[in-house]
A and B are shown apart, each in its own frame.
Chain A
Amino acid sequence: MKKGVLEMCILAIISREEVYASDIIERLKKENLIVVEGTLYPMLSRLKKAGHLDHFWLESQAGPPRKYYKLTPSGEEFLNQLTESWNTMVQSVSGLTSKKSKQ
């Protein structure tokens, strides 16, 4: 389930602006959401295969061209659905746990 959340975060990061892999890693690391970087690449590949992501190459000032990612319409829809189910889950979990602490 943690991976579903991670996928949601990746999509959310990409939805804000077009980014390349290292930007995503930086964000996820800042929030302690990712332990080893290698986890990200299979996820990006899977999301792309599912048609939620698209990539394009951009020249960079230093080094070789970078692969940038952006959301496709289906990706945006997927992100909305994920966010929705996430919110419902947070609500039910916090509802449950707060009731418990009151007893």
Chain B
Amino acid sequence: MKKVVNVNLGGRPFTIDEDAFEKLSAYLKLLQVHFKQMEGSEEILADIESRLGELFTEYLETRQIVTMTEVKRAIEVMGTPEDLGAEEEWEQINSNSSGEDVFEKRKKTKTRYTTGKRLYRDRENRIISGTCSGLAAYFGISDPVWVRIAFVLFALGSAGTVILVYIIIWAITPEAKTAKDRLMMHGERIDVDAISKKVKEEFNEMEKQFNEFSESFKKKR
């Protein structure tokens, strides 16, 4: 027995399995991040949603419920953000229509697509609040100890104002909670692969710790 969710995709009602719904909303979230930098991103997403609705109607024929199979199939057809990134060159199109050397212009205006880097607090490598390690990740400094030393030195030199600055940064910076946050903290590209890699890494780490724990347990016995 499975729970189902009712959704509206581009004006069409669908009943969708809960697991399939989660997959689909994760996919739409990723697309949202992918298109965020473009103007008219809301319209693009709306267009994609209504196309997904069309695809589901096509796949279902007379069946009632959208399952994981349909969702996976539709995502394959529509393309993951990485597929889209590979196929597209992110560029700014000049709004004028002088097309004489349009091919030339295109080559020149090619810009790289990077996800916005954001400042987070890195609680995993923290001493106090993870602010310094977050700053280190943001500026690409491999060892947060340098940021900490700088903070302490400035704090001594500035008669306490830097401590206030530290507390303010602490207060306004969110904590990196999810795998996606951690990727954005380092300014890495966010795509399905990168996130699953990160999750896998975390899982491996957990497994390692568990193994070590059970080893030590065995030894004790």
User: Which residues of A pack against B, CB within 8 Å?
Assistant: 1, 3-4, 21-22, 25, 35-39, 41-42, 44-46, 48-52, 62-65, 67, 74, 77-78, 81-82, 85, 89
Contact = CB atoms under 8 A, between A and B. Distances in A.
A63 B103 contact: no
Contacts of A25: 51
A38 B95 contact: no
A32 B198 CA distance: 34
13 contacts: A1-B106, A3-B106, A4-B106, A25-B51, A37-B51, A38-B31, A38-B48, A38-B78, A42-B44, A45-B39, A46-B93, A64-B10, A64-B53
Given A35-B87, A81-B97, A81-B100, 16 more contacts: A4-B106, A21-B51, A35-B83, A37-B77, A37-B78, A39-B88, A42-B35, A42-B44, A45-B38, A45-B47, A46-B40, A48-B40, A49-B95, A64-B10, A64-B11, A89-B103
Contact of B83 (A22, A36, A62, A74): A36
Contacts, number: 99
Contact of A45 (B40, B97, B99): B40
Interface of B: 10-12, 31, 35, 38-40, 43-44, 47-48, 50-51, 53-54, 57, 77-80, 83-84, 87-89, 93, 95, 97, 99-103, 106-107
A29 B77 CA distance: 11
Where chain A touches its partner, the secondary structure class is helix
B40 A22 contact: no
B88 A42 contact: yes
Contact of B11 (A44, A50, A63, A82): A63
Given A1-B103, A21-B51, A42-B35, A51 B95 contact: yes
Contacts of A44: 47
A4 B35 CA distance: 20
A10 to B, nearest CB: 13
Nearest to A52: B97
Nearest to A46: B93
Nearest to A88: B103
A38 B54 contact: no
